[in-house]
Amino acid sequence: MKRRPKTGEPRQVNQPLRLDSLPQAKRDQIISMRRAGESWERIAKAVGEPATTLHRWYDLRVAQVMREVQQEGEWSRQIAQALAGPGYESLPDAVRNAIADQLFGVMQASEPKERAQAAEALIGFMDQLTKRERVEVQKQKIGIEREKLALVRSKLQGLKKDVAGTGTKKQLSKDELQQRLDDIYGITG
């Protein structure tokens, strides 16, 4: 006699279950009650079905599917991270998740040639994203350096006027001059 699959084990042949023909509202009720922590006996009384039937239907149609989706999502993120290298971690979360989802879709393609071509295109896309992110960081650094230089230029011009005596009426002391130079050096350092 053939052994029946246990909870968590997939069926060998995917056939419709009697509970699949229940109205969607009833199936949603089963799912929501179970997620709320209700026992199978309470759910069975509320829905009017045997608890073992409900349990097996929930395991096949909800729990196993959720586990598969989680495993496939994690698998695709790991592959995307491995393919993208160190630049992958610097990408925003939304971009990383999108890449992982696309990669998973690529790996589900039926033809190996299609998978290879799509994976190659996706890797090129990830490389471009990583390069773009690096360029943006460099632009930000350049902008900050330009602001520093403008500030230093302004402070140096003010100091030059003060040393020449054209900016203020009194002459700068040695300590005041040193303080102003230290201030300027702090901007560039």
State the average pLDDT for the chain: 79
Question: What average pLDDT does this structure show over 77-106?
Answer: 69
Rounded CA separation 33/39 (Å): 8
- Residue 177, pLDDT > 90, answer no
Q: What is the pLDDT of residues 53-74, one digit of tens each?
A: 999 899 888 988 888 777 767 7
Residues in Cβ contact with 91 at an 8 Å cutoff, skipping those fewer than 6 apart = 84, 99, 129, 130, 133
Task: Return d(Cα 175, Cα 177) in angstroms, integer.
Answer: 5
pLDDT single digits (tens) 5-23: 777 777 777 788 888 899 9
- Of the candidates 114, 121, 107, 117, the one whose C-alpha atom is nearest the C-alpha of residue 78 is 107
* Spatial separation of the C-alpha atoms in residues 189 and 173, rounded to whole Å: 24
φ, ψ for residue 109, nearest 5 deg: -60, 150
The arithmetic mean of pLDDT across residues 148-163, rounded, is 82
* pLDDT for the residue numbered 131: 81
Residue 179 has pLDDT above 90, yes or no: no
- 41 confidence band (pLDDT: 50, 70, 90): very high
